[in-house]
Amino acid sequence: MMGIIVLLQIFLVLFLSSFHKVEGGLFFRKRVYVELFNDLGLNVTVHCKSGDGDLGSHFIESPNGFYQFNFKPNFFGTTDYYCNFQWPNNFHWFDIYVYERDHPECTDCYWKIRADGVCRLNYETKQYDICYPWNSD
């Protein structure tokens, strides 16, 4: 009986350590970098939050201004960040990082803020052609 318990403990240690070595596995989460580029032609204020924290408001100048932040996705793979964007006569929001949608291909997430929504850099085409409309209210 003692031998079976020892074998189960060894199996459990090997099983769990195998997750640790896999990038993005159970115990290791690669840091995610998010950059938001102002492609509006107007100054914009951005305010990003997650369930774990509030990053505050930041002013992004036009042209070519940007705001960046980084984080490690949580253990459970439920990390989400949403941002609201405000410029004259406009207020919009978007889920800028959703673990289920963006992991694992988006560890360096480059977004362009546009009047009709946001577009993420597509590493295959080298274009900002992964576009989403603003979230509805």
Query: In the prediction, which pLDDT does 6 show?
Result: 59
Mean pLDDT of 33-40: 97
Distance CA(94)–CA(113), nearest Å, equals 10
Mean pLDDT of 21-45: 80
Bridge partners for 48 per DSSP: 56, 83
6 phi/psi in degrees, rounded to 5:
-65, -45
**Which of 113, 108, 85, 86 shows the shortest CA–CA distance to 97?**
108
Bridge partners for 24 per DSSP: none
- The percentage of the chain sitting over the pLDDT mark of 90, rounded to a whole number, equals 70
The whole-model pTM stands at 0.79
| Confidence class for position 19, pLDDT limits 50, 70, 90 | very low
Is residue 81 predicted with pLDDT exceeding 90? yes
| Confidence class for position 75, pLDDT limits 50, 70, 90 | confident
Is residue 35 predicted with pLDDT exceeding 80? yes
| Confidence class for position 9, pLDDT limits 50, 70, 90 | low
Joined tokens for residue 132: 């989403």
Joined tokens for residue 7: 């074998």
Distance CA(42)–CA(23), nearest Å, equals 39
Distance CA(101)–CA(111), nearest Å, equals 15
Joined tokens for residue 105: 């291909």
Is residue 121 predicted with pLDDT exceeding 80? yes
